[in-house]
Structure formats: C-alpha cells, structure tokens
Structure 1
Amino acid sequence: MKIALFPGSFDPITKAHVDIVKRSVELFDKFYIGIGVNSSKKGLLTIEQREQMIRSVFEHDERIHVIAYEGLTVDFCKSIGAAYMIRGIRTVSDFEYEKAIAQMNHSLAPDIESIFIVSKPGYSSISSTIVREIIRYNGDVSQFIPKEALPYL
C-alpha cells in the first residue's frame, strides 16, 4: 500500500493547498494531511480548528485522513507507515528551502521519499502567511480559501 503525508501548518488551509492535495491523492492508496504542531508559534487557528476545517474541506474523500502531530515529520511518517512526503512548490525560493529539508529528511530517514508538486500558476502567490495578514486587517480572503473553510475564519 502506498501511503503519503502532506505536512504543513495549514493556518489556514488555502486553495493552493487543496490543489496540491487533489493532484497528489490520486497517486496513493492512503493520504494523510498532517498538521504539524509547533509549540513556539502562535497560530491564527487552534490545532483543533485546523483539523475540523481541513476535514470539512475533504469530507467526501475517504482516502484523505487529517491528523495533528508533534515532533520530526520523518518520525511521524514512520509511525503512520508513509513512505512518501508531499511538498508544494510555488517559487524558486520554495524549491531551495524544500530541497534543503528534503536532503536533511533523507539523511534521517533514507526510506522516505520527498515528492515536490509544483503549484499551478494561479496559486503561486497564495500563502497562509499572506492570508493571515489579510484576515488580521479584516480583508476579504474568500478568493484564496476553500468555501468550506470560511466559517472557521
């Protein structure tokens, strides 16, 4: 069984994240969206709100499982039996950053492959960081967020 993990903070989930999931899920038998818990970061949404939000976005696809985790992502991959880690790439700088992480992960867990999925051009400028800023200043984020996620904001 081919199992993959798409890790991230998803604070909040964006249409760009959804696009990466929809284009990746077809490649695997089981697909986890892992919400990484970083105790040193103050998020916009709680971990529980993010889990509920993501579940509502993907409630009709039984292949997708949403779970929060803490610690090294490669250790979490091992705990769920995932041999693949999905990472979205929007820009050249994303690639450099993700490449460095993938190389470190490979050193820690050579049996886990990192797979980069390049975002569609229309989504390359969307990031959770920018969406959070728009929300903080009461802007309209509906064009960047899946409609199922809007009630959580």
Structure 2
Amino acid sequence: MKIAVYPGSFDPVTNGHIDIINRSAKIFDKLIVGVLKNPNKTPMFSIEERIDMLKRVTKDISNVEVLGFSGLLVNFMKENNASVIIKGLRMISDFEYEFQMALMNKKLDDNIETLFMMTSSQYAYLSSSLIKEVAQFGGCLKGLVPDELIPIIIKRAK
C-alpha cells in the first residue's frame, strides 16, 4: 500500500488545499492529511478545530485520513508507514523553501520522497494568511474556502 502525507498548518483549510487533497487521493492508496501543531506560530484555530474542519470537508474521500502531529515530519511519516510527502506549490516563490525542506527530509530519512504538485491555477493566489485577512476585514470568502466553513471562519475572525 502506497501511503502519502500532505502536511500543513491548514489554518484555515482553503480550496487550494482541497484541490491538492483531491488530486493526491487519486494517486495514492491512502492519503494522510497531517495537521501540524507548530509551537512557533499562534494559529487562529486550535489543532483540534483544524482537524475537525478537514475531516468535515474530506468525509466523502474514502482513502483520506486526517491526523495531527508535532515534531519532525519524517518521524510522523515513519509512525504511519508513509513514504511520500505531498507539497503543494502555488508560485515559484514557494519552491525555494519547499525544495530546502525536501532536501532536509531526504537527509533525515533517505526512504522518503517528496512530490511537488502544482496547485490548480484558479487557486494559485490563495493562502491561509490571506483568507484570515479577508475574513477579518469582512470580505467575501465564497470560492476561497469550502462553503460549510465560511461561517466558522467569519465568526472566529471577528
């Protein structure tokens, strides 16, 4: 069974994230969406809330599992018998940082590969940071995040 992990903070999950999840789930037997608890960031949503939101919007994708983690991604990969990291790239500016991370992960565990997947062009400008900013200033989130999450995000942004 080929297992991949799509890691991220998903604070909040965007339609760009969902795009990568849907496309990755078609390639791998199992896709684990790894929600990172990063001690260096102050998220808008708790890790439990982010996991819950992702479970809601991926419930109809049978081979997707949503799990939280902290620490090194390679350790999380080993714990879940995963061998491929999925990284979504929006713009060329994402590549430099993600390439550096891929090389470090490869150094830490030579059995792990990183697959870079380009986000569909309609979502290339999306980021969780932009979503939070739009929500905080009362902008429209339609088409940017899953519809069922819009009220949750707006309520938290106030």
TM category (shorter chain) comes to over 0.9
Q: CA deviation at 1:40?
A: 2.5
Partner of 1:81: 81
Partner of 1:106: 106
Rounded to whole Å, the distance in 2 between the matches of 1:77 and 1:149 is 28
Q: CA deviation at 1:119?
A: 1.0
- Indicate if the aligned counterparts of 1:86 and 1:114 stay in contact, CA closer than 8 A: yes
What amino acid does structure 1 have at the position aligned with 2:24? Answer: S
Question: Secondary structure of 2:13's match?
Answer: coil
Q: Percent identity, please.
A: 38
Rounded to whole Å, the distance in 2 between the matches of 1:73 and 1:152 is 28
Partner of 1:19: 19
Q: Runs of at least 4 residues of structure 1 off by over 3 A?
A: none
Q: How high is the TM-score relative to the length of structure 1? A: 0.96
Post-superposition Cα deviations, 1:82-138, rounded to whole Å, max 9, x if no partner, equal 000000011111011111110111000110100000011111100111111111222
Partner of 1:53: 53
Q: How does 1:84-95 map to 2 (within 5 A)?
A: 84-95=84-95
Unaligned 5+ runs, structure 2 = 154-158
Higher relative contact order (CA 8 A, sep 6+): 1
Q: How does 1:1-153 map to 2 (within 5 A)?
A: 1-153=1-153
Unaligned 5+ runs, structure 1 = none
